[in-house]
Amino acid sequence: MEQKKLVYGGALAGLSLVVSLLIHFPLIPQAPFLLYDPGDIPILVAGFKFGPGLGLLLTAVVAVLFALITGQGGPWGVLMHFLATGSYVAVAGFIYQRRRTQNGAITSLIVAPLFMTVIMAGANLLVTPLYMGVGREVVKGMLLPAIIPFNLLKGVINGAITLLVYKRISNFIEEPLYKRGKATTRVRS
Give me the pLDDT at residue 30, please: 85
Q: Does residue 64 sit within a domain?
A: yes
- Nearby residues of 55 by Cβ (< 8 Å), 6 or more positions away: 43, 44, 46, 47, 86, 89, 90, 92, 93
**In this model, does residue 148 exceed pLDDT 50?**
yes
> Per the domain annotation, does 187 fall within a domain?
no
Judge whether residue 185 has pLDDT over 90: no
**Is there a domain that residue 185 lies in?**
no
Residue 188 lies in a domain: no
> Under DSSP, is residue 39 helix (H, G, I), strand (E, B) or coil?
coil
- SS3 assignment, position 36: strand
| Residue 98 within a domain | yes
Range of the structural domain that residue 120 is part of: 2-22+38-172
Residue 32 counted as domain residue: no
What pLDDT band is residue 1 in, cutting at 50, 70 and 90? low
- pLDDT at res. 168: 94
- Within its chain, how far is the Cα of 116 from the centroid? 11
Residue at 124 is within a domain: yes
Residue 101: alpha-carbon gap to chain centroid: 20
CA–CA dist 155, 147 (Å, integer)? 12
Work out the pLDDT band at 180, boundaries 50, 70, 90: low
pLDDT at 90: 98
Q: How many domains does the chain have?
A: 1
DSSP state of 51: -
What's the whole-model pTM score?
0.90
**pLDDT band at residue 177 using 50, 70 and 90 as cut-offs:** low
CATH number of the domain that 88 lies in? 1.10.1760.20
Q: With respect to residue 180, please indicate whether it lies within any of the assigned structural domains.
A: no
